[in-house]
Structure 1
Amino acid sequence: MRLSDVAYGVAGRRLLDGVELTVPAGRSASVMGPSGCGKSTLLMCLMGLIRPGSGTVEVAGQDIMRLSARGLAAHRRRHIGMVFQFGELLPELTPAENVMIASLLAGDAVDDARSRAEKLLADLGVPEAAATQDLSGGERQRVAVARALVNTPALLLADEPTGALDGEQREAVADLLFSTPREHGCTLIVVTHDASVARRADIQLRFHEGRLVSAQEER
Structure 2
Amino acid sequence: MAATKKILVIVTNVDEYRKSGMRTGLWLGELTHFWDVAEPSGFSMDIASPSGGKVPIDPESLSHEVLAELNTGKRYENRRFMDLLEDTKRISEVNVEDYDAIYLTGGHGVMFDFPQSQDLESLMAQFYETGRVVSTVCHGATGLLNVTLSDGEPLVKGKSVTGFSWPEEELANRAQAVPYNLQEELKKLGANYITADEPFETYVVEEGRLITGQNPGSARAVAEAVVRRLTAA
TM-score when scaled to structure 2?
0.30
Higher RCO (C-alpha under 8 Å, 6+ residues apart): 1
The normalised TM-score by structure 1 is 0.31
Looking at CA atoms only, which structure, 1 or 2, has the larger radius of gyration? 1
Higher share of residues assigned strand:
1
